[in-house]
Chain A
Amino acid sequence: MKFSISKEKFLAGLLQVQNVVSTRTTLPILSNVLIEAEGNGLQLTTTDLDVGISGHVEAEVETPGAVTLPARKLATIIKELPSDQIQVSVNGDNVASIECGPSFFKILGLDADEFPPLADFDDPKVFKLEQKTLKDGLKKTGYAISTDETRYVLNGINCTFKENTMTLVATDGRRLAMMDHELEFPESNEIAVIIPTKAVNEVQRLLRDEGEVTILIGHNQIAFELNGSRLVSKLIDGNYPNYRQVIPGEAKYRIPLERETFLESVRRVSLLASDKSNSIKLEFSENVISIMANSPDIGEAKETITVKYKGPNMAIAFNPEFLMAPLRNLDTDEVYMELIDEMSPGVIKINVPFLYVLMPMRVTN
């Protein structure tokens, strides 16, 4: 196997796939990237057996062939090489020689035949949508994914295709983010799956603002095909909680807020949220919200913003991180906060089908 390739392209290809390789692995070959040289380029593939990713880069292939090399080490080497033209040749013992200007590296690889192939799908359900839509949806919901490994069904995004709508939901049991997007597909394609966090993160790195992404869903597996790359992941096997029932119905009060202003006020005030309680209080009175926090050993903070609010005086406490997360990840100028009372969930909405449900904190004073 022998090929030459530009440093820039090789590095870009490696960076795209290297995130998947696991750091702690019992199977050494899973630390490696599979390099298959054929036709007009290289196919680069990595996997940790749960998530696998494969991408194509242009190269001049002199002798086709395949080998696996330590992914992170290889990326580091390529990054440091002194000039743009790189020649790689691999002998029968899977030893790769990398030449670039005056540099010469000899890297021990493992046999490509032992690399676990990415799964193929029998008769998958296929969906096509704009990359921008998926990118936007994952950004608006992904931060609410639970990191509690004991609740594994929540360690991902629940993705439902039903009644010509794609719905993305993430929750950790205290807050929930949900986005709907209209999409045409045959009724026979209706399905609900849970995409694990790692796959969500990796596909987000691949998604661009232009072009299409094809989603293939097979038995317990999902694949994303975009920009010449393919990401395959296992799905989380389990029942996602019935989230519809925790979304409050009719709100009593709907308060329009300037997103940036509100976010910045909360961020400033939260500097004095005590480490112990980690809560901030929002006090609503006519046309004013006072945002307050106090830390017994340090002091207190208060900021007021003018809003349109005609309801009774009311105080509600939230975890500031949970309140800021959607504000950071939305991009509209205006958001709406809907409230019922101080013990019921608050809801943040925008002018498109998105909502964020947040349980308050009970504060005993």
Chain B
Amino acid sequence: MNSSPSRKIIHVDMDCFYAAIEVRDHPELRGKPVAVGGSSERRGVLTTCSYEARKFGCRSAMPTFKAMRLCPDLILMPVRFDVYRQESARIREIFHRFTSLVEPLSLDEAFLDVSHLNSSGSAIAMEIRAMIQEESQLTASAGISANKLIAKIASDWRKPNGQFEVSEGEVADFMRALPVKRLWGVGKVTEKRLQALGLETCGDIVDRPLHQLVAELGRFGAELHEMAQGIDHRKVNPSRERKSLSNERTFAENLTSATEGLLKLEPILDELEADLGHAKNRDREICKSVVKLKFADFTQTTIERAAMSIDRNLYRTLLEEAWARGDGKSVRLIGAGVRFLSESGSDDDHSGHQLKLFQ
């Protein structure tokens, strides 16, 4: 596919969004290590933390008790989703002054397609960030490039409160030097595995023949090969509706038995249930349950079945069935999720839909 005239894509990412809002609203917190999240007594995790807290090694999604150990002076603020949502809406309104092609990824980041505007992507990003700072007293970082993949990587480059552009001519060089862990889908464990194959940078991946990558890593190898070249044809999709929600976990050591897998499945389902409880998902109707396994050889399998709620027994069955497909291969990742019925009410793949006796 030839992606005709070049595009101008901006990825805007708010800096420590929730924590920054808390510091703005509580000026006495300025300059101190601040985190937003659930308390450790309730086994909470951090959703965000300020740069001061990050210096101590605190990270988002880290269990609160662990963060408190790393940084005993950490100031933990309770989560105020209503405020964050309101702030997020205000910032989105700023985006819409420039383009209607805005694809929010979450409350604190979004892709913008500004190809139709005459100004350079950098100039537009600069203007947007200035408006955000003026109107919300919050800072944002931006990445500018010809596609979503690179724009998103680039927005991290000058964080916080900075921006970075990768022009089309620079893509090849930019990608070559990029460590593999920057790519989507490459976490710690995959990174190690890639390193073991001598793949440290995207350049290493591009230089490796495609068939070898596929032999080593399965379909993911082919995806990696494309990503590593900075190829991404995905459009900025303003009406993107969340079609599914899932939760997955990669294990430090591969699991060798389905029994082990069943044990590991439970906390994944706990989290999935918690995520489904969030306001943004609460009204969505579930139509399918999905279990995904990634095997030691990086091949993966997904199995799904019609369901209207989180039925743990069904997930257990799906896990066992998926496990059997591996023919004894050990498993490095388990994912469990749901697909939502599309909001128009019909299932997007035209399969059956269970009618209800009552709501």
Contact = CB atoms under 8 A, between A and B. Distances in A.
28 contacts: A146-B309, A147-B309, A147-B312, A148-B311, A150-B309, A173-B308, A174-B357, A241-B358, A245-B358, A246-B357, A275-B306, A276-B304, A277-B351, A278-B305, A278-B306, A278-B352, A319-B306, A319-B352, A357-B357, A359-B355, A359-B356, A361-B353, A362-B353, A363-B352, A363-B353, A364-B347, A364-B350, A364-B353
A14 B225 CA distance: 59
A176 B288 CA distance: 21
A277 B356 contact: no
Interface of B: 273, 277, 288, 303-306, 308-313, 346-347, 349-359
Given A176-B357, A275-B304, A276-B304, A361 B309 contact: no
A interface: dominant SS? loop
B355 A174 contact: yes
Contacts of B357: 171, 173-176, 246, 345, 357, 359
A146 B308 CA distance: 11
Interface residues of A, number: 33
SS class of chain B's interface: helix, strand, loop or mixed?
Answer: loop
Given A246-B358, A275-B305, A147 B351 contact: no
B310 A279 contact: no
A204 B353 CA distance: 33
Given A276-B349, A364-B350, A148 B309 contact: yes
Contacts, number: 83
B273 A149 contact: yes
Nearest to B309: A148
Nearest to A343: B355
A236 interface: no
A317 interface: yes
Given A148-B308, A276-B349, A361-B354, 9 more contacts: A147-B312, A150-B277, A173-B308, A174-B356, A275-B306, A319-B306, A319-B352, A359-B355, A359-B356
B306 A148 contact: no
Nearest to A360: B355
Contacts of A319: 306, 352, 354
B354 A364 contact: no
A274 interface: yes
Contacts of B312: 147
Contacts of B350: 364-365
Given A146-B309, A148-B310, A274 B351 contact: yes
B130 to A, nearest CB: 44
Contacts of A277: 306, 351-352
